[in-house]
Amino acid sequence: MKLITQTPKKALKAFLKQKSLRSEIDVFKTNLIALLDKISVIEKRPKDESEEHLKNDLRDFLRDTYYKDTNAINTKDRKDLVIHLGKTTDTEVGVIIEAKRPTNINEMVSVDNPNKKALHELILYYLDERINVGNNQLKKLVITNVNEWYIIDSNYFDKHIYRNTQIKKLYETKINDKKDNPFFYEEIAKIIQTIDVEIPCVYFDIREYDTVLRNNKKEDDRELSALLKILSPQHLLKIATPNDSNSLNERFYKELLHIIGLEEAREGTKNIIRRK
């Protein structure tokens, strides 16, 4: 398995052209600087304690910058962080985030070697949501150590992980035979080694933006535009923007259903078409 990276600018496409509000940029810069300044403090704490603080700090950054009034962000079961599709934690999970300490290079993925524990954990938590919970609404999967971020569209996990019979069989063995997580991680590492697939992902390193982030030159803030938008609900949760052609298509689709006397409704975890 290989990770094929692209920059935030390339991933955002039309969304990048939409101008950010000055207030959005200021909040983003303030909150991101606060997060980065906490890293050195976190690293001085014991391992278990520092990982818990890291999750909390990441949650606070994402919540206060983007999701405070719209989406719940918290831990779920063994998952480090999840972003829900609604304001409460009883709504479905849209994003799973696997977080590692910046110095934990043994477990953190890299472009050259994605077959690390961070990926093994993300795969397990993804399968838990898809198979155990029956959640078909996952949008993005994220691995980060605060500095480096890997953002994967869930469609690629659906194609290469969920629909891989060998991986699915391993997950079923873990559940049915009550195997522990280390068993799954050890076995999934062997499978990943043999899978000849390329998984596209957005990759960026926040350290490359440090100078622009901390200076007071407003003209340099345009360099932060892609970084600001790549973690937004429009990208991570695939929420259509007003100028997005997909949103126009959605309105046309609903109007068409109305004309022919049908409507789309939610039934369990599925969307169904029914007569009004």
Residues in the chain: 276
Phi and psi angles of residue 95, each rounded to the nearest 5 degrees, phi first: -135, 135
Check residues 267 and 176 and name the one with the higher pLDDT: 176
Q: Is the pLDDT of residue 178 over 80?
A: yes
Check residues 110 and 268 and name the one with the higher pLDDT: 110
What is the pLDDT at residue 155?
96
Q: Which of 88, 118, 84, 104 is nearest to 201 (CA)?
A: 118
Q: Which residue has the tokens 């919970």?
A: 133
Q: Is the pLDDT of residue 61 over 60?
A: yes
pLDDT tens column, 212-230? 999 988 888 999 999 999 9
Confidence of residue 248 (pLDDT cuts 50, 70, 90): very low
Check residues 45 and 94 and name the one with the higher pLDDT: 94
Cα–Cα distance, 167 to 158 (Å, whole number)? 12
In contact, 146 and 206? CB cutoff 8 Å: yes
* Other beta carbons within 10 Å of 92: 16
- Average pLDDT of the chain is 90
Cα–Cα distance, 145 to 105 (Å, whole number)? 9
